[in-house]
A and B are shown apart, each in its own frame.
Chain A
Amino acid sequence: MTGYSATAGQQRWQFEDLKTLLAKATPLRSGDCLAGLAAGSARERVAAQIALANLPLKVFFNEQVISPDIDEVSRLIVDSHDVVAFAPISHLTVGDFRNWLLSDKATSDSLKRLSPGLTPEMVAAVSKLMRVQDLILVASKCRNETAFRNSLGGKGVLSTRLQPNHPIDDPAGVAASILDGLMYGSGDAVIGINPATDNYAAVTDLLKMLDDIIQHYEIPTQSCVLTHVTNQIEAINRGVPIDLVFQSIAGTQAANESFGINLAMLGEANQAARELNRGSVGNNVMYFETGQGSALSANAHHGVDQQTCEVRAYAVARHFDPLLVNTVVGFIGPEYLYDGKQIIRAGLEDHFCGKLLGLPMGCDICYTNHAEADQDDMDMLLTQMAVAGINFIMGIPGGDDIMLNYQTTSFHDALYIREVLGLHPAPEFERWLQQVGITQPSGKLSNRMPDQFSGLLDGL
């Protein structure tokens, strides 16, 4: 392998291998600097992008960023590649591919057909050449619809995960946030709790509680408790009601091992949850979370930049046909994504790459208090994500997660963006909101709390 090069004026830049080229071509972010992989100068970055643009897509089959011999994610990527689907673009360079994606040749249907022919590295590569508007435009053409007790990802639909976290999992505290969310029309993607502990008994109490609430009020949505996948497999085996199986995933085998998982485990969980047949509209049962920087933080990135590692995680996700994939973009901290600018760009890259690979992408549009970011940055990312056609976002009372200590989107935020862009919740959930009187026939929130719910307050 002789490497790759680019020339501008008198200067020539040499890039030793594909992973180096990808890393140097990546728009600036702190995680790549921390890993020592970032371009050394602004000119070197653009030179790498020029070299990358001239690279034939076929090169991605000749050179793997991580060898399939030592990494089962690479093995999965190689083994699951669909050569026939890839054929329409097989003659293109990465730069041509950007042009193709932005052209009228790329439609909702042609992108859907192309998806199995794309590898994560190709998709990561083209995203590195794209501006924010490119990421938005192409993603907005993709429609990746999934279903369980409702239909998610349709045109004009923006859904929310109701995230009723509580520092000690107090049932009334969790219920208070659920009620608050439902009254604001939140929760169609999933009602999903991050438990305070991974304690099996505590987790199953929460699972039963969520299931009871969904059944009692006949809410067309699904539940999830975000504990380790092995806990959920055990719960299924013991007959605990499980709608969706959650797991955090990453783009290398070693990073997944640091989460205590492998592909076989995910396959087992997917099969077990599918066999329960608890979905009424569809049977997508997996809920994955990802985020740039996870492989580096586990020291498991093999010299691959954090965005390419992230897109490799989507190859893992698509293998299991998930209901929801959530990139938790700003949670990891400023050593990976320093400020609002880096968080916004990363979120849009993740959404674009995931959508292109066929995934039902959502985003935890979020930040921590030690990142250079604030509510204005979140408003910008939320607005851009919704224009790009994101499937779902988070919903938390006031945007303040009192258990995980970070800020994400609020119930109000979802209503804002639905109002501005004319978006709706999942159709089944929207009908339920009207039936129980949370919304008016116009779709706007009622000014009065429905009696069924206000009655609950009297006995307290």
Chain B
Amino acid sequence: MNEIKKADSDTVIENRWASLRRYTDARIAQGRTGVSLPTEALLAFQMDHASARDAVHIALQTEPLMTALQAEGYRSLVLQSRANDRSEYLQRPDLGRRLNELALATLQAYRQQHPEPVQVSLVIADGLSSMAVQSHAAAMATAVLNRLETRGLSIGPVSIVTQGRVAVGDEVGEQLGAQLLILLVGERPGLSSPDSLGIYYTYQPEVGLTDARRNCISNVRPAGMSIAAASDKLLWLIDESMRLGCSGVALKDQSVSATGVNNHKNFLLPSDHSA
């Protein structure tokens, strides 16, 4: 963003502790004018909120997504949930979890032409961030599908579901007779993370199952978890689930342990104080 010109630098009181920003992304040391937020900080916040709002409300463009998948050799179907628009989607989570009639007909027609069951169904749902899906879903999908193909698994069409919530994947998977369901969804945008993609994995999907049967990988975005790391984690989950014949809470994620690598000391206390 362009710098806001500060004509009267005497008015704004800056904070000495801006250096502490190295420890946190929190909006600390913003300074004040009187007791209020300086103009620059105010507009930075408004821009971040605008990005998050746009992520929720700008409709997913399915064409570019299909083209990107096609370029990697993956066919896709475009489907919609029972929610007719964003307003209904936001107020009626139940409708976003089920496919509309046209979507069901599309899948049934596909099944008639391709009667053999597939092992893997990958679903992309816009969820609460079209920005996340538009930006990262094609790359994430192809990274995973390429690896699954080399293991010899049969892959169904990629289903792109608009106005879709996580559970809508179960219905797609059930319709396609899939053994493994991978669902990519735009996560609820944070103020500084409008483009976060979530991945939900279910072994033997069926309509009506609960979160307890799903495994989740969250915060996939350039500033969060990388596509490569997310693929590793997902492949680990898939292998384990096929070995154990289940997914969800019964399948504890032991694939990674590296968290909290940046633990810094509490500087508010003298050094002899901390244990």
Contacts and interface: CB of A to CB of B under 8 A. Distances in A.
Partners in one complex: yes
Interface of A: 30, 33-34, 164-180, 183-184, 208-209, 212-213, 216-217, 334-335, 338, 368-370, 374-375, 396-400, 402, 405, 407, 410, 412, 415-416, 418-419, 445, 447, 449, 453-454, 456-457, 459-460
**Number of chain B interface residues as a range:** 35 or more
A369 B191 contact: yes
Contacts of B268: 175, 178-179, 213, 216-217, 456
B45 A398 contact: yes
Contact of A180 (B19, B28, B49, B93): B28
The B contact surface, by secondary structure, is loop
Contact of A335 (B24, B92, B191): B92
B188 A398 contact: no
A415 B56 CA distance: 32
A115 to B, nearest CB: 35
Contacts of B190: 369, 402, 405
A400 to B, nearest CB: 5
Interface in B182-215: 188-194
B24 A176 contact: yes
A177 B24 contact: yes
Contacts, number: 176
B263 A171 contact: yes
Contact of A34 (B21, B49, B92, B270): B92
Contacts of A165: 26
Nearest to B32: A412
B26 A177 contact: yes
A369 B17 contact: no
Contacts of A213: 266, 268-269
A335 B27 contact: no
A171 B16 contact: no
Given A179-B268, A397-B30, A399-B45, A168 B24 contact: no
B20 A454 contact: no
B191 A180 contact: no
B24 A173 contact: yes
A449 B270 CA distance: 18
A169 B26 CA distance: 12
A370 B46 CA distance: 15
A174 B188 CA distance: 24
A170 B262 contact: yes
A171 B191 contact: no
B228 interface: no
B193 A405 contact: yes
B193 A457 contact: no
Nearest to A209: B266
A454 B16 contact: yes
Nearest to B92: A34
Interface stretch (B33-41, B63-71, B233-241, B245-253): B33-41
Contacts of B92: 34, 335
B259 A176 contact: no
A190 B93 CA distance: 35
Nearest to A165: B26
Interface in B213-260: 259-260
B266 A174 contact: yes
Contacts of B270: 216
B260 A170 contact: yes
Contacts of A447: 13
Given A398-B41, A457-B16, A172 B128 contact: no
30 contacts: A33-B91, A170-B23, A170-B262, A170-B263, A171-B264, A171-B265, A172-B23, A172-B265, A172-B266, A172-B267, A175-B267, A176-B24, A176-B28, A212-B266, A216-B270, A338-B90, A369-B188, A369-B190, A369-B194, A370-B189, A398-B45, A399-B27, A400-B45, A402-B24, A407-B49, A410-B37, A412-B37, A415-B32, A419-B35, A449-B17
Contacts of B275: 208
B47 interface: no
Contacts of A399: 27, 45
Contacts of B8: none
B24 A369 contact: no
A153 B23 CA distance: 34
B151 interface: no
Contacts of A375: 45-46, 49
Interface in B51-110: 52-53, 55-56, 90-94
Contacts of B153: none
A30 B91 contact: yes
A101 B200 CA distance: 52
